[in-house]
Structure 1
């Protein structure tokens, strides 16, 4: 009875820093989940000229999301964000990079971000396999949603947590508090519909799936991905029970 009445509170009352890359982007389901877990959100967009904090002292951690740009682009805000990731790394503050955010973490750590050697993309739903180290942490979904044309080498000192077929490195951990995932667990239904419409020109790329497969796959595979995303956020931001 007592177990069923337990609630969770965030580890502290500081907001989570949310870094987005387009004017109308949102943190989607990740934002909803963090707020449900008791966190406030501090949303910033360096691509729109907003600066990031010089220290994580006033934040519980950071999440850098994806975007249509590349971590190899020479835009000032891309280079700025890659350099800024040293702030949470040096302060051992929780950091989660999703897609572009993971690739930026790899670049910060001196790793390589590049396209597939055969030109393949992952745009749609693709199989995922947890490594032995990953299985110790969470129950992972068997299929995940992807929308990328580049992947990354595993940086020095990183632990691989999950792998895929075309792009092997799908999730990794560095140190105690830095995490990167190549796939997307943050999409709401509305977001996925928007991506399918706006990204339709990419469905002809090698390895990409047509839009109907994106939407069909959501009905088949999204529930385990949603549960995993919630568990991942709990692990990164370490809520406490009362």
Structure 2
């Protein structure tokens, strides 16, 4: 079977999109279709046999009383994971994968917002190995336990579980690999309340964005291509 050439992306916040990864998909011949969580019916995206990417957002997976759409999203995701369909989760997307895999997701002891290097796990063929020595963007307050059937790929100085993989098809990244250097100002504007509450130095964060984001874009492209090869979406080079 030929791998489907459209990528479905589930958004939880308008400005948290595929970022730099979108251009990589286009360069490789894929199209992108977005679904808005809480507005669109996610059934098609979750039952899709091609790649579905679940993006970030400010809500917690446990806030289902305030945001009832989470119940259906998690139920559909559980079915998707049971079928081992190719799924990439970023930030909230990673937390949803953890929760749907029967791991606990909960508020962390502190906000982790800013750029820092990952501590990569010494596991065979770690798909994140190209990030060694590079800064990545963290932007979350929740964390999660590692699902029983998952392989830990990375930690940070603040939280032990920053990335994991289940088999070859399921990849969960707590950090933001997708950020694009030319659009991070949207994040500073859109998340101003969170940044102020967490007492984040916004001018310094902007400076770090400008300094580190271009390199992360390059490394993200390498990782995405490796992941697409791994799931059989593109031929190995």
Shorter-chain TM-score bucket reads 0.7 to 0.9
Matched residue of 1:122: which SS?
strand
Equivalent pair of 2:180/2:217 in contact (CA under 8 Å): no
- TM (normalized to structure 1)? 0.84
Equivalent pair of 1:146/1:182 in contact (CA under 8 Å): yes
Aligned residues: 227
Q: 1:134 to 1:225 in 2, by over 3 A?
A: farther
Q: What do residues 62-111 of structure 1 show as CA deviations (whole Å, max 9, x unaligned)?
A: 10000111111112221212121234323322111000000000000111
- 1:3 equivalent in structure 2: none
Unaligned runs of 5+ in 2: none
Q: Is the aligned partner of 1:125 residue 2:110?
A: no
Q: 2:149 aligns with which of 145, 154, 157?
A: 157
Q: 1:108 to 1:216 in 2, by over 3 A?
A: same
TM-aligned CA deviation for residue 222 of structure 1 = 2.0
Q: Is the aligned partner of 1:186 residue 2:178?
A: yes
Equivalent pair of 2:179/2:213 in contact (CA under 8 Å): no
Q: What do residues 104-138 of structure 1 show as CA deviations (whole Å, max 9, x unaligned)?
A: 00000111111223xx1111112311110176433
- TM (normalized to structure 2)? 0.86
- 2:85 equivalent in structure 1: 93
- Which is bigger in relative contact order (C-alpha 8 A, separation at least 6)? 1
Give the RMSD, CA atoms, in angstroms: 2.2
Matched residue of 2:123: which SS?
helix
TM-aligned CA deviation for residue 42 of structure 1 = 2.1
Give matches, 1:21-60, under 5 Å.
21-23=12-14, 25-53=16-44, 55-57=47-49, 60=50
- 1:147 equivalent in structure 2: 139
Q: 1:81 aligns with which of 73, 86, 91?
A: 73
Q: What do residues 43-73 of structure 1 show as CA deviations (whole Å, max 9, x unaligned)?
A: 111311333226323xx21100001111111
139-148 or 95-104, larger mean C-alpha shift: 139-148
TM-aligned CA deviation for residue 204 of structure 1 = 4.1
- 1:5 equivalent in structure 2: none
Q: Is the aligned partner of 1:65 residue 2:55?
A: yes
Runs of 4+ in structure 1 over 6 Å off: none
* d(CA) in 2 for partners of 1:230, 1:83: 31
Equivalent pair of 2:11/2:34 in contact (CA under 8 Å): yes
Equivalent pair of 1:85/1:105 in contact (CA under 8 Å): yes
